[in-house]
């Protein structure tokens, strides 16, 4: 009995969630479908709206690209800082106490850092090229014809 009562309470709560309780669901098959051709919007208004949506999509794609570049840049910086910290520990060892393994690790860390810095430089250059390309495209798209 108690289980049945709790089930009916939760069922009632689900039916009244949000706008569902206010929505009149009709199953009337007698209504007519309206064609898009019968709409009150003109073809010119459609073209304007489509152009606006296209520009918005381009802006969003550019922003997504920028955010991806930023995420990659942040990760590369973290990796570089981590490697630099490891290198500091090795460099802190006095030269007379270093063995062949220490020197080899030091050299490997320097090479890894160098590769990551080159990768980051490429990423920054690529981001700048993308920004310039988008700016040029925007200028061409907004130039009076």
The list of the chain residues with pLDDT below 70 reads: 1-39, 145
Per residue in 93-104, pLDDT tens?
A: 898 888 899 899
Question: Would you call 31 exposed, middle or buried from its count of C-beta atoms within 10 A (0-12, 13-18, 19+)?
Answer: exposed
**Per-residue 3-state assignment (H helix, E strand, C coil) for 124-138:** HHHHHHHHHHHHHHH
Question: Would you call 83 exposed, middle or buried from its count of C-beta atoms within 10 A (0-12, 13-18, 19+)?
Answer: buried
pLDDT at 97: 87
Helices (H), 1-145: 2-15, 43-92, 100-142
pLDDT at 53: 94
Report the distance separating Cα 71 and Cα 30, nearest Å: 55
pLDDT at 20: 45
pLDDT at 127: 87
Report the distance separating Cα 79 and Cα 67, nearest Å: 18
């Amino acid at each position: 009995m108690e289980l049945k009562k709790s089930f009916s309470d939760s069922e009632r709560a689900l039916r009244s969630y949000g706008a569902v309780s206010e929505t009149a669901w009709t199953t009337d098959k007698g209504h007519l479908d309206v064609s898009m051709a019968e709409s009150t919007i003109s073809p010119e208004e459609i073209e304007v709206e489509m152009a606006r949506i296209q520009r918005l999509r381009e802006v969003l794609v550019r922003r997504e690209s920028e955010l991806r570049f930023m995420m990659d840049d942040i990760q590369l910086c973290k990796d570089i800082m981590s490697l630099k910290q490891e290198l500091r520990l090795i460099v802190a060892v006095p030269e007379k106490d270093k063995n062949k393994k220490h020197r080899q690790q030091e050299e490997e860390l320097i090479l890894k850092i160098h590769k990551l810095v080159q990768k980051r430089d490429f990423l920054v250059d690529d981001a700048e090229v993308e920004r310039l390309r988008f700016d040029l495209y925007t200028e061409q798209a907004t130039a009076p014809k």
